Structure 1
Amino acid sequence: MNLKTSTTNKWYPVYTSARAEKKAYEALINKGISAYLPLHRQLKQWSDRKKWVEEPFIKSYVFVNIAEHEQADVLMTKGISRFLYFSGKPASMPDRQINELKLLMASSFELEITEEDLQPGEKIIIKAGPLKGMTGEIVSHRSQKQLILRLESIGCSIIVHVAASYIERF
């Protein structure tokens, strides 16, 4: 086994208990574990008021950047349920996907998450704006052209509304 590979950190999506994403994230950070919880602002309506709140963008998931030997520490964290598995091993995500997700969350684009199994379409690259250089697939959804970024390791896609003039085929 290559020693370098066994000590390299990877991003892993971990499944949390229901509605425990923020508490699980805080517990991971308090343990010194590098973690990422994508949040987005949402206007919530109660019977007596409205309020802007930070909600987890991908329900029931937190992402951890750890070495393989740290998996037990993550599992022993309050609010963490399990790792996602692919072919009998914990599923990991490329750094590029996490960086693109962070870029999307920091952008002013209108975002939507879907668990629909969207069919592959034309591959595109964004050529202008804050998402310049990001790649994805175009689909027709609600009769608008939108960029889809697939997060295959957790089985969901992110829909971003992008002007057609900002994209080009490759």
Structure 2
Amino acid sequence: MAQALNSDIRQWYPVCTLPRAEKKAYQALINKGLQAYLPLHRQQKQWSDRKKWVEEPLIKSYLFVNINELEKTEVLMTKGISRFIYFSNKIANMPERQINDLKLLLASSIELEITQEDLQPGEKVTIKAGALKGLMGEIIAYRSQKQLALRLDNLGCSIIVNVAAALIDRL
């Protein structure tokens, strides 16, 4: 009985894809009927003869799946998926709130920057106005500017957002 209850619980998991295979892996998961999320952002690319706006994965070689225990094997058997992300010898999962925060960030017109640096935690804050109202994060020093870092704990990276100091409250 406990096994049946466990198989109904869905959680978000970050998965690693093969290099430059994020979109194909995402589509393969969707074709299998699995719930997946691939955060994309638009950026302008420069070629020798032209410029073009393209949608690129926000975090290279990552996408997210919302699955139960029984679907983990199906995810690993999907073309383009490399592995689950592990922390402390177990598969890392993410709270629904972090996925929703990521979606909110991408829906806003704020310029994002991804860094793989190991950012040290600072003062906890919440945004009190604007498109990102209600989001929580940490203040960090980055390139000598005060910025709000929304740390996605289970990814090993941070999302940096420029926010005016007047728009944040200390927690």
Residue identity in the other structure for 2:65: V
Change in Cα spacing, 1:153 to 1:15, as seen in structure 2 (3 Å) is same
Q: Deviations over 1:51-88 (max 9, x none)?
A: 00000000000100000110011011110000011233
Cα distance in 2 for residues equivalent to 1:37 and 1:24: 10
Cα distance in 1 for residues equivalent to 2:8 and 2:121: 35
In the alignment, which residue of structure 2 is the partner of 1:17? 18
**How much does 1:150 deviate?**
1.0
In the alignment, which residue of structure 2 is the partner of 1:49? 50
Aligned residues: 170
Cα distance in 1 for residues equivalent to 2:121 and 2:7: 34
Cα distance in 1 for residues equivalent to 2:35 and 2:23: 14
Unaligned runs of 5+ in 2: none
The alignment's TM-score, normalised by the length of structure 1, stands at 0.96
Q: Secondary structure at the match of 1:153?
A: coil
Change in Cα spacing, 1:26 to 1:121, as seen in structure 2 (3 Å) is same
Structure 1 stretches of at least 4 aligned residues deviating more than 3 Å after TM superposition: 1-6
Bigger shift: residues 145-154 or 107-116: 145-154
In the alignment, which residue of structure 1 is the partner of 2:77? 76
Q: Mapping of 1:1-170 within 5 angstroms?
A: 1=2, 4-170=5-171
- Contact 2:6–2:69 (Cα < 8 Å) also in 1: no
Cα distance in 1 for residues equivalent to 2:20 and 2:104: 24
